[in-house]
Structure 1
Amino acid sequence: MIRLDQIETAEHALPVGFDCDKGSEFLDCQFLRYFIPHVTPNQQPSFVLSTGLRNPSTAVEGHRKDILDVTLNTCRERLAAADFLYVRQAAYMEKRMLKVLCWIVACLPVLSWAAGERIDVALFSRGDLSGWQAKAFTGKTRYSLENTDGRSVMRADSSGAASGLYREVSIDLGRTPVLNWTWKVGNVLAGADERTRAGDDYPARIYVVFSGGLLFWRTRAINYVWSGKQPAGSSWPNAYTGNAGMIAVESGSGRVGQWVSEQRDVRADYQRLFGEEPGRVDAVAIMTDSDNTGATATAWYGDIWFTAK
């Protein structure tokens, strides 16, 4: 940007008249403010004035994209017109900025929601079984997609069996530590002690698995279960291995037959169960099992996903 003191220096140094070519009357008016007081009656300043407006019909009459020899009176007239247009343009820009600010304020909740991460693990509602595989332990629990309560879900039926469905994933709990899911059970298994091998059956459970890689003995898992008798929120070691922890998310028959939405901070649960920071989640599984008790169990699983806090 050229300062007016620099213009004055150049004016005294140049042997010829000054020609202003700035491309917009909103800026030319600043040059007019400088030159008009310096013009003598015998001088004829020369300017390039362009309309430079969004609507040419509002341009000052006589503005063209060529060099105009203008008289002192014409300069003054155009200065007044330029001042008027400058004020109008400033008001126009102020209105636009106000509209933009109002839009930003109105969209803040939406933008905040959009910025949140969501990693889908199970999209049963879309009938999507991509990446899901079966794993049998004792017999086979029957898994099938069905439409119930107006949506597509995964139904599981077990009769003295224990098999599950799992999907390999890679979840960074530093970014998305919260596990979300919906489920429903048709009955609970309340006849045995779930802390023992004889009673290690649940109508619904979700595994979150942390692989130990080459250190396979360090593979760990959290089991989120619908317990028959353990209090909701309680936890205990798995009856078969110390590398798995059990957490009763739901308990008893009070909500049998109802869809329940769940959220768990997996990172915090892992720290509480194992006393250290978790690595990445390597797999998620669902299982409805009744092999130890020989009973029957039915459950329905909705979508499963991870989110940030």
Structure 2
Amino acid sequence: MWICMGKRQHLSLVCLLLALSAEVSWSRGFFELQLLSEYQTVVTTKRPCTYGTAVTGVLGGNTFHFKAAKSGAGRSGDPPGKLVIPFQFSWQRAFTLIVEVWDWNNGTHNSNDEELLIERSIFKGMMTPGEERQKVVHPGSSAAMEYTVQVLCEEHYYSSQCNKVCRPRDDYFGHYNCDHLGNIRCLEGWSGPTCDIAICKPGCSLQHGTCTKPGECKCKYGWQGLLCDQCLPYPGCVHGTCSVPWHCECEKNWGGWLCDKAEHACMSNPCANGGTCHEVPSGFQCHCPAGWSGPTCAKGEQ
């Protein structure tokens, strides 16, 4: 089978010929499928078939079934009675289809000689791409034909005109599949209009964490922790914390640039049993009365 094809296929019209029974002289023949550019009220076979043309190889004898034929498959794995016309533009629904059966003898030189035409079927219709098939019965005076017509969008093309494109991908530019309507559906762990934004680890700080792969939580400069919710204090900060990176906010009773200087350490009266408190750089020091010892004069002496 010969099929007219373009560089890129947007959709295809499939004509599946079911059976043919003809009473003609002993010879062989072939089918020609012509798809005109638009619906015609008055059909002429002289106009060019701008939608496309498909022709089978030479088939059989006077009576044959396609299941026994050896040639003419439209695509790899298709039955020999299947003709496919691919084309590169949006589907307009209305069309005129012409199916012709031609005689072919060993001495035939001009396949367009009208004397070799066995039968011609003209079908005018409107179809929407999908699984639906339209059955056509042509009784004919020389040959009876029965075939079905179906319009299918090519792979990755969708909508009633086959002009919506959606190609699944999983790379730098996006991570998604396509639903039956051609809408993008993000793969697990991805979000955004083109599914190129990774979904970070649950709980990861939206302000201070980020990720390039699903489930990650990478901290921005100045932040730490599993969820990037802890700031990094100023290096060398001893008795302090931070609410913003590189600060050293001193704990109670501590001061200095690095929070390493004791302040007001004796205000809490840490010395017990009459001990006297004295502030020192490291905090406080207790001077214990007789009979007591320890950092806070809490240890009795025997």
With the shorter chain as reference, the TM-score category is: under 0.3
Which protein has the larger Cα radius of gyration, Structure 1 or Structure 2? 2
**Bigger relative contact order (CA 8 A; separation at least 6):** 1
Scaled by the length of structure 2, the TM-score of the pair is 0.21
Q: Which has the higher helix share?
A: 1
